[in-house]
């Protein structure tokens, strides 16, 4: 489930993806590499990273940029990632059948990813 939330400020776009089926630590490994970078650099980094977590984050960044251009009229050249965070989500618990009628618990962790894009030119003008 992806929630998109546009801020009251006309210079930033917030995007939140909830219940992504991956570990928080695996997603943070990718998020730490893109925090503070421009939109073009972020796309290049995420496309070339070998991790499985980079694909949902790439979709999220791409969605945030398209929201910024379509809804707020911002240019993709001026966008940068001002804030990116990964928080833990609900743990999905399942049971795996084992020998002699026993069961073995399986815990699937999920995470929530939040990305905020800002316009570089307008954020400097507001200071």
Domain ranges of the chain: 11-123
Instruction: For 17-54, write each residue's pLDDT tens digit.
Output: 999 999 999 999 999 999 999 999 999 999 999 999 99
Per-residue HEC secondary structure of the chain comes to CEEEEECCCCCEEEEEEEEECCCHHHHHHHHHHHCCCEHHHHHHHHHHCCCCCHHHHHHHHHHHHHHHHHHCCCCHHHEEEEEEEEEEEEEEEEEEECHHHCEEEEEEEEEEEEEEEEEHHHHHHCC
pLDDT in tens, 68-101: 999 988 999 999 999 999 999 999 999 999 999 9
pLDDT given at position 127: 55
User: Which CATH homologous superfamily contains domain 11-123?
Assistant: Ribosomal protein L22/L17 (3.90.470.10)
Note the pTM of the prediction, 2 decimals.
0.82
């Amino acid at each position: 489930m992806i929630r998109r939330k546009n801020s009251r400020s006309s210079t930033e776009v917030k995007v939140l993806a909830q219940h992504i089926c991956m570990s928080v630590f695996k997603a943070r490994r990718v998020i730490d590499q893109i925090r503070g970078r421009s939109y073009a650099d972020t796309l290049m980094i995420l496309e070339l990273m070998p991790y499985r977590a980079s694909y949902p984050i790439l979709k999220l960044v791409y969605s945030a940029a398209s929201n910024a251009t379509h809804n707020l009229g911002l240019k993709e050249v001026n966008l940068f990632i001002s804030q990116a965070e990964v928080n833990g989500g609900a743990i999905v618990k399942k049971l795996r059948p084992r020998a002699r009628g026993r069961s073995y618990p399986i815990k699937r962790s999920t995470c929530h990813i939040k990305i905020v894009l800002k316009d570089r030119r307008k954020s400097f003008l507001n200071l």
